[in-house]
Amino acid sequence: MFTLLILFIYRIGNRIPVPYVDVEALRTFFDQTLSNTVLGFYNTLSGSAFSEATILALSIQPYINASIIIQLLTIAIPALERMAKEEGEVGKKKLERITRYTTVGLGLLMGVAYTIMLNNYNILSADANFLSYVVIVLAFTAGSALVMWLGEQITEFGIGNGISMILFANIISRIPDNVISLVTNLSSGAMKWWGATITLVGVAALVLLIVFINDAERRIPIQYAKRVVGRKVYGGQNTNLPIKVNMSGVMPVIFAQSIASLPATIFAFTSVQKGVGFWGTLRAIFDSDSWFYAFLYFILIIGFAYFYAAVQYDPMEIANNLKKNGGFIPGFRPGKPTADFIAKVIHKITFFGAIYLAIVALLPIIAGNTISGVQALGIGGTSVIIVVGVALETVQALEAQMLMRHHKGFLE
């Protein structure tokens, strides 16, 4: 109930427009010009708030970008690395505080950029002045901070990851618009019936693939040596170390999308025309429907998948824990040989998981470049991964909560 309450509050904020903006003019301009650009993807992640200039228009984008920056700096700056690895819970809280400040700073920058775009396209009201611009920017900045706070409340007191739940709610809220867009494209002839059939079958296949891969794992057999303590014998049992194929979830896709779309986002906030002059050519290269963008997106997904695997699994730490508890992997000596074997398995599993994420994320882009009308539907692989992944995680979290309270789980 707490999670639903927070999401309800979020959806209310998603409908409150900032002052001095002609919302109808913005909505019309967005539908005609920006819906198939990278800003259209942002609009999906914001639950249509971006195209209506509400106080929560920036949604979780500043927080995601801030998280990327801090996590990368944690590797590059020794002081932050020590804070993350050696200071325990205190260090974690310090990094969270730094991430919050960075989120507000990025929210301010994105708010300024969005306000400049609104001004360049004459979407602000005629009586807007400098003070009006300040009010608009502060509203967007405060909204990004509020979204971050709401997400943290869900994570701490609710069910599931707060940011993922907000993304889930935003994407689900766009389904009626996608259905209307599909019907409109079919009736107008912009999309053929076979294209719609392929699209729907493709989405269903993606859902099944995501559900299948979500539970797929490689199990490394573990044996424990027998120990005699007094008259009791401990150990001797066989178990396994599960390593999930998709161990990093949707985060590599979200982070890769944020970085790959950064040049296109900057261009979208300007008046540069695609394909006109040097800057226009550069904008076309980085546009979300270009093959270069798809290639860059693919590489970044692979990179972030390995990055998250390295963050989540430390083979030497796992090997040392096994050694301390009398466990071992058959055929491998405790210590470094065990760590090397685990690292090798993680490397192979991560490769397949990364390729899976990249294919799922890129298929809709490829379909949009080859089947007319698909791109206008706003159905992205990232959106499908987020919706299905969060739904599965939520069901598992609810199942765990019910079992803790001695209720019979509904997955049985």
Average pLDDT over residues 43-61: 85
pLDDT attached to residue 268: 72
Mean pLDDT value of segment 147-158: 89
pLDDT band of 146, cuts 50, 70, 90: very high
* Dist. CA 75–CA 363, nearest whole Å: 32
> 1-173: which CATH topology?
Preprotein translocase SecY subunit (1.10.3370)
Closest CA to 256 of 8, 41, 7: 41
311-59-32 Cα angle (round to 5):
120
CATH 1.10.3370.10 segments of the chain: 1-173, 188-412
- Answering whether pTM is above 0.85, one says no
pLDDT, position 230: 62
Mean pLDDT over residues 126-136, rounded?
Answer: 86
CA torsion sign for 47, 53, 58, 60 is negative
Fold classification of 188-412 (topology level): Preprotein translocase SecY subunit (1.10.3370)
Q: Please compute the mean of the pLDDT values over residues 284-303 and round it to a whole number.
A: 86
pLDDT score for 67: 87
Closest CA to 362 of 301, 317, 404, 314: 301
